[in-house]
Amino acid sequence: MFFRRAAVLLVVLLISAACRKKTELLPAGAKQVTRTDSSEAGENGDISLREYRFVLGDAKNGASSFVCESRNYPDVETAQKAATKSIAERPQAGGQKTQARFAVSGRSVWLWQGRELVWCMLTTPRVTDLSSAMQPVVEKFQKQFEGV
C-alpha cells in the first residue's frame, strides 16, 4: 500500500514538472522564432530562464525584431523584488494588481505575474513609428495582464 501511494505521488510530481511551461508572449504573426532555455542560481533557488526572439511583419512593409526574456522564480516574493528592480519607474502605460504588473516604456514592455517576469524589447533600429511597431506586443502583454 505504501509503495503504491509513493509511486502515485512520484508520477504526479513528474507530470507536474513536465507540464510546467515556460512563458512566451508571442503576438499573432510572429515569425523566425528562436528560443534558448537555461537556468541561473538565485538567492532562494534556481531561476528558470527562456530567451526568445521573433520578427513581426515582412521586409516590404518594415519588419520589426524583438528580443524577450521570461524568468520563472522559485517564489512570488523573489519575482516581485526582481520586477521592482527591472520595470521602469515611470512607464508610459501600464497597470498594477496584487500579484501582477504591466508596464510599457519606450521600446520595452514588462509583465510580472506571480512567479514569472517577462520582458520584451524592440531591437529594430531607426523605427519611424515606435507606437505602431510595439502595438502587437503591447496588446499581447496587456491581454495577459487583464486575464490575471
User: What band does 56 get if pLDDT is binned at 50, 70 and 90?
Assistant: very high
86-123 per-position pLDDT tens digit = 998 889 999 999 999 999 999 999 999 999 999 999 99
List domains and CATH numbers for the chain.
22-146 (3.40.1000)
Which cell goes with 91?
A: 512607464
Kindly report the pTM of this predicted structure: 0.81
Four-CA torsion 84, 88, 93, 96, nearest 10 degrees? 0
Establish how many alpha carbons lie within 13 A of residue 147's alpha carbon, considering only the half-sphere containing its beta carbon: 7
Residue 22 reports pLDDT greater than 70 = no
pLDDT of residue 4: 57
Cβ(35)–Cβ(51) under 8 Å? yes
